[in-house]
Amino acid sequence: MTDYADTRARVEHYFDRTATRVWDRLTSDAPVSRIRQTVREGRDRMRAIMLGQLPQDLAGARVLDAGCGTGMMTAELAARGADVVAVDISPQLISIAQQRLDPRLSPKVSFRSGDMTDPALGAFDYVLAMDSLIYYRAGDIADILSRLGERTGDAVVFTVAPRTPFLMTFFTLGKAFPRSDRSPTMIPHAFAPLSRRIGPGLSRVERVSRGFYISECLEFRP
Ligand SMILES: C[S@@+](CC[C@H](N)C(=O)[O-])C[C@H]1O[C@@H](n2cnc3c(N)ncnc32)[C@H](O)[C@@H]1O
């Protein structure tokens, strides 16, 4: 298997089987531990930053929510008037996202389970990929952006795990003590080497660091 196919298979297994319930709860209003609460707050802030890169009024815009999970971003995009394609490799999460969506927004959203780079999803004005590329190597991220970029008019807004000392320690420990299950490992990236791989068009937006949630928003204009 290629790196990409192997990572994607691990991601699918993790979100579709191992972590479906945890993810369902984290992305709901249900009470969570203090640590997970910091993650929730950080994720709320990141969602707002990413949405801030798009016009407020998205009427008439086609937007791909790439790796939509339980559909938190999807719902916000549809509420702003976008026509959203929400895709995720985990059928279970797609089903949760479908159940959660306000029925009044349903006509604005088309849910698909599958690969975010599938050309059959069509062309878009914007692509948002919140925390869905954090498990991939730089070469895979560059390939994903190139494939998505071919079909994106304005921008691909996405996040990576930045190379902070905390995340690097986590990453190094993970390599030293590999987990026995098939869960994916988050791979931290520094901006400069990633930018060399991806080429012109990549810029930094903002980093969020809230408790255990550390993520950096980047934008790619093809
Ligand atoms: C950390 S979750 C984030 C979900 C959602 N974007 C959010 O922020 O709530 C990452 C999601 O990306 C999805 N994903 C990862 N790689 C994917 C791929 N190649 N194609 C489609 N979905 C993918 C996973 O299944 C998972 O639901």
Q: Which residues line ligand 1 (CB under 6 A)?
A: 8, 11, 15, 27, 67-69, 72-73, 87-90, 93, 115-116, 130-132
CATH code for the domain of 56: 3.40.50.150
Nearest CA residue ID for atom 27, ligand 1: 69
CA distances from 4 to 9, 10, 112, 172, 210 (A): 8, 10, 20, 21, 29
Q: What is the pLDDT of residue 135?
A: 94
* Cα atoms found within 13 Å of the Cα of residue 39, Cβ hemisphere only: 14
Tens-binned pLDDT, residue by residue, of the chain (222 aa): 579 999 999 999 999 998 899 899 999 999 988 988 999 999 999 999 999 999 999 999 999 999 999 999 999 999 999 999 999 999 999 999 999 999 999 999 999 999 999 999 999 999 999 999 999 999 999 999 999 999 999 999 999 999 987 777 776 777 666 665 667 888 999 999 999 999 999 999 999 999 989 999 999 999
Q: What is the pLDDT of residue 185?
A: 86
Q: What's the number of domains the chain is made of?
A: 1
Q: What is the pLDDT of residue 178?
A: 61
Structure tokens given for 1: 């298997």
Nearest CA residue ID for atom 23, ligand 1: 67
Q: How many Å lie between the centroid of ligand 1 and the Cα of residue 68?
A: 6
Q: What is the pLDDT of residue 179?
A: 62
Q: What is the pLDDT of residue 187?
A: 92
Distance CA 134, CA 132 (A): 6
Q: How many Å lie between the centroid of ligand 1 and the Cα of residue 134?
A: 9
Question: Is residue 218 helix, strand or coil?
Answer: strand
Q: Which atom of ligand 1 is nearest to the CA of 115?
A: 20
Can you give 131-150 as a three-state secondary structure string? CCCCCCCHHHHHHHHHHHHC
32 near 40, Cβ under 8 Å?
yes
Q: What is the pLDDT of residue 27?
A: 93
Q: How many Å lie between the centroid of ligand 1 and the Cα of residue 140?
A: 15
Domain that holds residue 118: 3-220
76 near 128, Cβ under 8 Å?
no
